[in-house]
Amino acid sequence: MYLYHSLCLIEIMSYTSIDLFAGAGGLSEGLSEAGFHCLFANEIVPIHAKTYQLNHPSTSVETADIRTLDAEDIRLRLGMEKGELDLLAGGPPCQGFSINAPVRSILDQRNHLFKEYLRFVAAFEPKMVLIENVPGLVSFEQGATLHAILEALAEMGYGADVHILGAAYYGVPQMRWRTIIIGQKGQEISQDAFPIPLYHAPIKPNFTTTFGGRQLVKVPDSAAKSNFTTVKDAIGDLPPLVNGEKGFAVKAYECEPFSEFQRYARIGSPGVYNHDAPRLSAINMARLKYIKPGGNWTDIPVELLPKGMKTARRSDHTMRYGRVTADGLASTILTKCDPHWGAYFHYEQDRSFTVREAARIQSFPDHYIFAGTSAEQFEQVGNAVPPLLAKAVG
């Protein structure tokens, strides 16, 4: 298997992996670009699993609650001995840890699914483990949960460590951060196991960045490039649309690719899928007329603001009703590209992002097709690990 990177031909070895809590497959997509072949994936939501299977046809995908799965039986079905699997990867649901969650509690049942991941570690004894989560994991319960995860891995024979990675440092055109835990069987994990940032980018953490008295955020050094991927670099070649426009299921590109990111995104794709403009309400279209690139809700006349925001401080909610700038980064893609919750207005077209634009901003290649309704597609994209970040880790 070969990968073109920076105009150099690099031979990539093929490794085996398993993806738990797989979602639509962003983590697996990035790992596959780094040379991993996913043998088995588990996802509880049927439509997410359908998207995963559509894009990873050679992977055995099981749609089920992980708590009902027999890890030993799956290992035997795959014909694997203990210790044979190269990588067990996964992102147990993180909503309960998120710094954006209304209430973060150890009682949230989603926070106990880590033990299901560890059950698979025990069954397969993989050479390496990878856990991804939100930055809020570091501060949750004053760090007790993260300590427990690292201690559990140590008891199972894995030297593990943790870092927080900024997706924009690896070519992803948005302000997104992920906590990454990597463990190696039988030895301490090398710091070389965590990817070196490739680009400088205008991002700043808004969360706890230290754990056990040390800094977790990996930042670029002087060798990193300055030309981070901008929003226009990411989506500027996609066909223009008006508010609510659908058109053909597969659309033609607007122009030849004019960025390295666009050339990467187009590989293996005959055209543009999942590119229909959501229909904004009349009131939102009226609001949008007043918002300049880089602007937000504070540009909107008071009489047009939602009732709850008319008395808000102008320094609060700075991403709401935001219009991105062409030469900047997008705000974090959430499970709904609803302008009330973030900067999801196109920089020059009077509409909000399409699923494909959100997927591009998450760094999904264009050949990656999302199944389901528009709302289900946005949810899949927003919950995903950006493939380029996963590729860097891989």
Please give the Cα distance from 240 to 316 (Å, whole number).
Answer: 32
pLDDT in tens, 80-103: 999 999 999 998 864 444 334 444
pLDDT at 111: 52
Give phi and psi for 358, each to the nearest 5: -65, -40
Residues 334 and 389 in one domain: no
200 and 283 share one domain: no
- The amino acid occupying position 363 is S
- What is the 3-state composition of the chain as percent helix, strand, coil, each rounded to the nearest 5? 30, 15, 50
pLDDT of residue 104: 43
The pair of structure tokens assigned to 154 is: 């140590």
For residues 93 and 41, membership in a common domain is answered with yes
- In this predicted model, what pLDDT tens digit does every residue of 179-233 receive, in sequence order? 999 999 999 998 889 999 999 999 999 999 999 899 999 999 999 999 999 999 9
In the beta sheet, which residues pair with residue 323? Answer: 345
Measured CA to CA, the distance from residue 394 to residue 387 in angstroms comes to 10
Q: Is the same domain home to 176 and 290? A: no
**Which positions are annotated as active-site residues?**
94
CA dihedral 181, 95, 115, 122 (to 10 degrees): -40
Residue at 368 is within a domain: no
Residue 12's pLDDT band (cuts 50, 70, 90)? low
Residue type, 241: L
Query: CA–CA distance from 22 to each of 17, 294, 377 (Å)?
Result: 12, 34, 15
Locate 307 and state its tokens: 């009732």
- In CATH, what number is assigned to the domain containing residue 348? 3.90.120.10
What CATH number is associated with residue 92? 3.40.50.150
Percent of the chain predicted with pLDDT > 70? 92
Which of these ranges, 44-48, 232-236, 313-317, has the smallest mean pLDDT?
313-317
Q: Specify the pLDDT at position 13.
A: 65
Query: Does 187 share its domain with 67?
Result: yes
- Identify whether residues 127 and 83 lie together within a single domain: yes
* Lookup: tokens for 216: 């977790």
User: Residue 352 carries which side chain, given as an amino acid letter?
Assistant: S
By DSSP bridging, strand 177-185 and strand 128-133 are: antiparallel
- Whether residues 35 and 177 share a domain: the answer is yes
Pairwise CA distance, residues 390 & 381, whole Å: 14
Q: The domain containing residue 19 runs over which residues?
A: 2-216+385-393
Give me the half-sphere count of Cα atoms (radius 13 Å) on the Cβ side of residue 194.
25
pTM above 0.85, yes or no: yes
Total number of domains constituting the chain: 2
Please state whether 240 falls in left (phi above 0), alpha (psi between -120 and 50) or beta: beta
* Interval 53-61 mean pLDDT: 98
Do 135 and 283 sit in the same domain of this protein?
no
More confident residue, 105 or 281: 281
Q: Say whether both 181 and 141 belong to one domain.
A: yes
Q: Are residues 162 and 53 both part of a single domain?
A: yes
Answer left, alpha or beta for residue 284, where phi above 0 means left and psi between -120 and 50 means alpha.
alpha
The DSSP element (H or E) to which 78 belongs, if any, is none
Provide the pLDDT confidence category of residue 105 given band limits of 50, 70 and 90: very low
The stretches of 56-212 forming alpha helices (DSSP H) are 71-77, 114-124, 136-139, 144-155
Q: Is residue 249 part of a domain?
A: no
204 and 330 housed in the same domain: no
